[in-house]
Amino acid sequence: MEQLRQLGEAVGSINALMAFEADLRINPRQCRLLADACARALAAVTGQVRAQLRFDERGAKWRALEAPLRELHRAFRDAEAYVRQCLDPRGSWWARAAAMAHGTECVEQHLHNVLWCVAVALEAIDAASEIAGSDPDELARGRLVLARKYDRDMLDPKLFEKAFGKLYLVSQELVARMDMAWKEDRWVMSQMFDEMKGPAASKPLSKNEHRLAELLAAARGKLHPASVLLGSDYSVRRRLGGRLKEVHWMGESFAMKHFIGDTDAEVALLSSVAHPNVAHAAYCFHDEEKKEYFVVMDQLMAKDLGSYVKEVSCPRRRIPFPLVVAVDIMLQIARGMEYLHAKKINHGELNPSNVLVKPRQPDGGYVHVKVAGYGQPGITAGGAKASANGNANGNDNSCIWYAPEVLKSDGAADAAASAARCTEKADVYSFAMICFELLTGKVPFEDNHLQGDKTSKNICAGERPLFPFQAPKYLTALTKRCWHADPAQRPAFASICRVLRYVKRFLILNPEQQQGQTDDAPTPAVDYLDIEAQLLKKLPAWQRGGEAPRVADVPFQMFAYRVMEREKAAGAVHVAKERASDSGSDGNSLYGDENGFDAMSPEHTFSAVSNGSLRSRPASSDGKLPTAKKADGKAPRQAAEGETREHGGEDSAVGKAGARREARRSPAGQRRSHRAAADARDGLRIAAQAALVFVFVIEFNG
C-alpha cells in the first residue's frame, strides 16, 4: 500500500506541474505525453491490483509487488524532474531551451523506463494473483485466465496490441503520440520564435537573442558562425581530456569539442545521431578563417566508466555495484550501441574510457551512461589512441578490449582491411570485456603476468578472463557468448538489449539477488539466451535488424519472453515430475506422494512458473536428498516387500488383486496409469478453458 501511495503522490505532483501547461515554452507536447503516460500507468497498475488481489491479504501476499512498484516510482520521479526542468523559470531560459530543445530523453529514456516498469509490475501482480485467496476454485480460475493470457498464440505484435495495448500503454493513439511529440515541439518552438521576432511581440529581441532564436529553430547539424557561440557569455572552464572542454555558455555549463583542421566528416557524424545513451552534438559552430569547429555536446558528463569503477570499488565488496545497477549500466551501453548499429555506425573503440557516466547520487547507485568516442578515424588495435585508452583504465595492454579478429588483422596496409576491423561483432566482443569489469571490478587480464604481444597472442588463441565462482551464471553466460571466438556466434546488440531487460526484470522480482550471488538466492528457471534464439526464429522482424529501435516495442518484447519462459518452465516441471514418478517405486514420487503426480505441489509449481526462478531443494543434514516414506515409517520398497510376503498365501481372488497391484507397481503399469491420469487432466483443462473464455474477454478487453 505504501508503494501505491507513493505512486499516486508522484503522479499528483506531475499533474500539479501540468496545471501550468499554458506557461510551458519548452517541449510542451512531450511533457503532456509523459504526464498522460504516468497517469495511465498508475491506472493500469491499480486497476489490476483491484481486479486480481485481495485487500485483506496486502500484508503478506502483496510483498512481491514492493520492488517493482519502487522501480516504477523511480521512473515517475525522473519524469517529474523532466517536466519540472522544462517549466522551471529560474536561470537562463535560453540556456535551458538550448539544452533540451534537441533532446530525445522524453521518449527514449523516461517513457522507455515507464513502459518497462509497467510490464514488470503487471507481471508481479499476475504472479501474486496465483496465490491470492484461499478458495481453490477461485485460484484455479485465476490460473486459467493467466494461462490464456500467456498463450503462445499471443506471440503476435498486432494481436498483443489489440488485446493488451491499453493495459501496457502501447495503444495506437499513445504510440502515434510517441512518434510525433518531438516533431510537434520543434514546430511549436519555431512558431513561438516567429511571434517573438514579429512586430506584434510585447518585447523586441536583442541582437544576440535574435541569433539564439535562429540557432534553436535550426535543424540539428546545421553549421552556425562561431560568433554566435563566442559572443554569448562564453568562457572555457577546464579541459576534460583530449578535445573535450567544459565551457560556460549563457550562464550554464556545457561540454564542447574543439576541432582544428579538416574534420567535416567527424563533425557531421556527431550531428547525425541523437540518443540519451550516445554522446552527440547539439550545436555546431565553424570559424572559416581559423579552420576551427566548436561542437557543443548534448550533456556534460562527470567521468569515464573506468575511472568510476575504480572510485566505487571497495575491498570489502565482491562487486563494485549492486547487481541491478551493473545490469542497468550494461543495458544503457547496449542501447546506445544498438542505436549506433541501426544507423550503420560501428564504434571500433568501445572500452571504459569511451563510456561516460554521470552518477545520480540519491538514486540507489544508478548512473546515466553515454557511449562516446565512435567514428574516430585511423584507429588500430596497436595505435597511439588505443594505448591512451588502455592507460586511462590503468592497464597498458590496450589489446584486451579488441576482438581476436581485430588483433589478427592489425597492421594491414590496405584501407579495406582497416575498415573490416571495425565491425558490429567486434563491438560486441568489446562490450563483453566491459561487462566483465562491471561484474568483477577488475580490468580483464589484470592478474595476468603476460604483457603486450603475448597477451594479444593468447587472446587470439582463445584465452579469456576468468570469472569468480560466485558470479551469476545467467550473466556470465551472456558475457561469454558475447566474447565468443567465432564472430557469427556473438549476439547482436538488439538481442543483448532484450536479454538484459529481462535479466533486470528478474533482479527486480527477486531483490535478494541484487547485492550479488548468495547460496540460497533463486536463479532463472530457463536460459534467456535460449528464449531469444527461439523468438528470433518465430518473429522474423527481430532478425532483420537495421531499423532504429522503438520504445513502443518494449512491452511486447517483455511479454514474448514471459510467454516462452512460462512454457519452458512448465515443461521443465512436467519433465521433473515424470522423472520423479518413474524413479519412485510403489507409485510413489520422490517426496512420497501416493499417486506420483505431486513431486512438486501446485503452489511450488506455479511459484516457479510465475516468478521465473527456481530454488535448490533442501538437502538433509548429511547432504543427501530426503528419502520418501509412508505413514508407517517404512521405506517404499520395504513396505512393498512386506506386503508381498503378507499376501503370499491368500486365495485366488486375493491373488488376482495382488497381481493387479503388482501391475500398478511395475514401471510399465505405472506409466500407463500416469498417462491415463494426464489425459483426464488435459480433458478437464481444455473443457475448463473453453468454459472460461468469456472470463478472459471480460478481464482483458473490458
- Per-residue pLDDT of 582-615, as tens digits, reads 665 454 443 344 333 344 444 444 455 556 666 5
pLDDT band at 383 (very low <50, low <70, confident <90, very high): very low
Provide the b/e sequence for 598-622 (b: ≥16 CB within 10 Å): bbbeeeebbbbbbbbbbeeeeeeee
pLDDT at 21 over 80: yes
H/E run at residue 149? helix 136-149
Across the range 333-353, mean pLDDT stands at 95
Separation of alpha carbons 29 and 256, rounded Å: 29
Q: What average pLDDT does range 566-591 have in this prediction?
A: 66
Set of cell numbers at residue 410: 592489425
Q: Could you tell me how far CA 329 lies from the centroid of its own chain? A: 10
| pLDDT (0 to 100) of residue 480 | 96
432 DSSP β-pair partners: none
Cα–Cα distance, 428 to 488 (Å, whole number): 11
pLDDT at 571: 78
Give ∠ CA 551-335-270 in degrees, rounded to 5.
Answer: 105
Of 339-348, 414-423, 658-667, 677-686, the range with the lowest mean pLDDT is 658-667
Confidence of residue 39 (pLDDT cuts 50, 70, 90): very high
Is residue 150 classed as helix, strand or coil in its secondary structure? Answer: coil
Question: 428 phi and psi, to 5 degrees?
Answer: -65, -40
pLDDT mean across residues, the chain: 80
Beta 281-287 vs 252-260: how paired, if at all? Answer: unpaired
- Whether the per-residue pLDDT at 191 is higher than 70: the answer is yes
Per-residue pLDDT, 404: 93
Report the alpha-carbon distance of residue 610 to residue 576 in Å, rounded: 17
Higher-pLDDT residue of 565 and 636 is 565
Radius of gyration of the chain measured on its C-alpha atoms: 30
Q: What is the pLDDT of residue 143?
A: 83
- For residues 75-89, average pLDDT: 94
pLDDT category, 465, cuts 50, 70, 90? very high
pLDDT band at 697 (very low <50, low <70, confident <90, very high): very low
Report which listed range, 35-44, 187-196, 511-520, is most confident: 35-44
Q: Quick one: pLDDT at residue 363?
A: 67
pLDDT score, position 168: 97
Q: Span 47-64, mean pLDDT?
A: 79
pLDDT at 630 over 50: no
What percent of the chain clears pLDDT 90, i.e. is strictly above it?
Answer: 45
Q: Is a pLDDT exceeding 70 seen at residue 302?
A: yes
| Structure confidence at residue 545 as a pLDDT band (50, 70, 90) | low
At 646, the pLDDT band (50, 70, 90 cuts) reads: very low
pTM of the complete model? 0.82
What is the Cβ-side half-sphere exposure of residue 620, based on CA atoms within 13 angstroms? 7
Decide: 604 and 573 in contact? Cβ < 8 Å.
Answer: no
pLDDT bin (cut points 50, 70, 90) of residue 651 is very low
Tracing cell 516457479 back to the chain, one arrives at 608
Q: Indicate the DSSP class of residue 109.
A: I
Question: In the predicted model, is pLDDT for residue 7 greater than 50?
Answer: yes
What is the pairing mode between strands 523-524 and 613-614? antiparallel
What's the average model confidence in pLDDT over 481-502?
96
Q: Are strands 244-249 and 223-225 parallel, antiparallel or unpaired?
A: unpaired
Residue of higher predicted confidence among 241 and 287: 287
Structural domains of the chain sorted by starting position, each given as residue range(s) with its CATH number in brackets: 2-133+171-195 (1.20.1410), 218-297 (3.30.200.20), 303-518 (1.10.510.10)
Weakest mean pLDDT among 494-498, 515-519, 589-593: 589-593
Residue 382 vs residue 47, higher pLDDT: 47
Kindly tell me if the per-residue pLDDT of 623 is higher than 80: no
Over residues 659-684, the mean pLDDT reads: 56
Residue 284 has pLDDT above 50, yes or no: yes
Region 14-21 average pLDDT:
96
What's the average model confidence in pLDDT over 278-302? 90
* Mean pLDDT confidence for 514-522: 57
Give the best-scoring range by mean pLDDT among 354-358, 394-398, 679-683.
Answer: 354-358
Q: Which long-range contacts (CB under 8 A, 24 or more apart) does 178-181 make?
A: 178/33, 178/107, 178/111, 178/551, 178/552, 180/29, 181/29, 181/30, 181/33, 181/106, 181/107
State the Cα–Cα distance between residues 170 and 159, nearest whole angstrom. 12
Task: Specify the pLDDT at position 30.
Answer: 97
- Inform me whether the pLDDT recorded for 252 exceeds 80: yes
Q: What is the predicted pLDDT for the residue at 515?
A: 55
Q: Is 330 helix (H, G, I), strand (E, B) or coil?
A: helix
At residue 695, what is the residue type? V
| Helices within 627-692 (DSSP H only) | 636-646, 652-665, 667-691
Q: Record the cell numbers describing residue 170, joined without a space.
A: 502501447
